Amino acid sequence: MRSEPHLVEVFGAKEQPGQQEVQVPVEQPLLLRVNGGLAATIMRQPGDDIELAVGYCLTEGLIADPGAVLTVRHCETDDNTVDVLIQGEPPEHPRLVGTSCMDGAELSEAQLPEPLQLGRETAWSVADMFAMPPQFRDHQQQHRLSGGVHAAALFDQEANLVVLREDVGRYSAADKVVGYCALGKLPMADMVLMVSGRASSMMVVKTVRAGIPVLATMSNTSSLGLELADRLGLTLVTYLRGKKFRVCTHPFRICQR
């Protein structure tokens, strides 16, 4: 269940108070076990948990490529636990991943991914970029039902929507779309990741770890997010809405054609 009904009191400036049943997005912890050990407790909206688990392993650097995942499945006795078997060693200390923005200060120099290649020819036109937000909005079913959720989506070279996922956590939404492509063996090196929330430093790092060259948001970025995007070769697009948008770093991937 992704949302559940709740009875609330509604107050208006010109109306008498009244009761109304509304939908509220469900938030539950997902236990991620890697090679038998607890790797993370992820607060998320239930659904697409296999995608979330694989995407998390990739964007958090537990694996270098999707091929390192040997098996992934729900625990037979607990729908809120996913077991992943990977090549290599699991993390030594489990993490608690909430739904709010994490502090970029947690990133050490050794944890940063290798910069993206800057010589790639793939580019998106201004018209391509403007074609993404309407598709992004039209496919946010959970947002229309209950609100209170973030969305992330991947678009291909022709600005066609490949996948969109929603979640109470911005990072979980992004991990789900990355996991979708990883499981389907869809190359992400020629895709744009669009997110509803701010392009934080952690979102920038997750995008680069997945090998995605462009991160676009309808909101703004942070100073550290911008700094890391520039350093790691990521094209960062902000305020992609209305009739304008900003290209903050590496604008060669956006052209006027």
Q: Look up 57 and say whether it is catalytic.
A: no
CB within 8 Å of 59: residues ≥ 6 apart: 171, 174, 175, 178, 205, 206, 207, 209, 210
| Token output for 95 | 């993490």
Among candidate residues 57, 101, 181, 248, the one labeled active-site is: 101
Give Dmax over CA atoms of the chain in angstroms.
63
Helix boundaries (H) for 105-254: 126-138, 141-145, 170-183, 201-209, 223-231
Closest C-alpha to 200, from 169, 176, 160, 155: 169
Closest C-alpha to 250, from 154, 114, 113, 118: 118
Helix boundaries (H) for 73-140: 126-138
Measure the CA–CA gap between 127 and 98, rounded to whole angstroms: 36
> Do 241 and 216 meet the contact criterion of CB atoms below 8 Å apart?
no
Closest C-alpha to 49, from 67, 65, 73, 77: 73
| Token output for 255 | 């052209």
> What are the catalytic residues?
101
